[in-house]
Each structure stands twice: as C-alpha cells, then as structure tokens.
C-alpha cells in the first residue's frame, strides 16, 4: 500500500517548481529556500485538500526520569 496518494505527489511536484522559481512563501511571508521546508509545506497543503498523506508525527511526552532530572537541576 502506498504511503502517499497521487494528489499529494502532484502537489509536492508543483511546490518544488514554485520553490525553484522563487515564488514559494512560508507562513511568515519569507521566500522558502530549504528543500525540506518546501516538501513540508506541500504535504501540509495536500493534507488540507484531503489527499492521502499520513498524519504529522506527534510530539513524544517526556518520561518520568527526564522530569525528575530537570527538577533536581533547579
């Protein structure tokens, strides 16, 4: 089973073209220069349109050990 749908790959393709042309903007309005950032923007747009794209990886919660260590440092 494919991880991404055809619509998502088309969106990534067009976004990469926009990045190369220099017309792709980030949320803050700056021109995107990073390839990784361009792909992230494309997948987010595809997700909004309803294309088959996996969910974003959720942040992992801190384990109890790490919270105890930080509490000791204070």
Whether residue 18 is contained in a domain is answered as yes
Residue 65 inside a domain? The answer is: no
In 3-state terms, what secondary structure has residue 25? strand
Count of residues for the chain?
74
74 lies in some domain: no
Structural contact between residues 39 and 18, judged by C-beta atoms closer than 8 angstroms: no
Residue 64 inside a domain? The answer is: no
Q: Is residue 48 part of a domain?
A: yes
pLDDT reported for residue 1 = 62
Instruction: Please give the pLDDT value at position 55.
Output: 81
- Across 13-34, b (16+ Cβ under 10 Å) vs e yields eebeebbeeeebeeeeeeebee
* Domain assignment of residue 26, given as a range: 1-54
- How confident is the model over 22-70, as pLDDT tens digits? 999 999 999 999 999 999 999 999 999 998 888 877 777 766 666 666 6
On whether the pTM is more than 0.75, the answer is no
Number of domains in the chain: 1
Q: What is the pLDDT of residue 19?
A: 95
């Amino acid at each position: 089973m494919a991880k991404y749908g055809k619509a998502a790959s088309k969106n990534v393709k067009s976004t990469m073209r926009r990045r190369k042309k220099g017309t792709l903007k980030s949320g803050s309005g700056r021109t995107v220069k990073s390839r990784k950032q361009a792909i992230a923007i494309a997948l987010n747009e595809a997700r909004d349109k309803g294309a088959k794209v996996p969910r974003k990886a959720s942040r992992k919660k801190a384990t109890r050990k790490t919270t105890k260590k930080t509490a000791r440092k204070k």
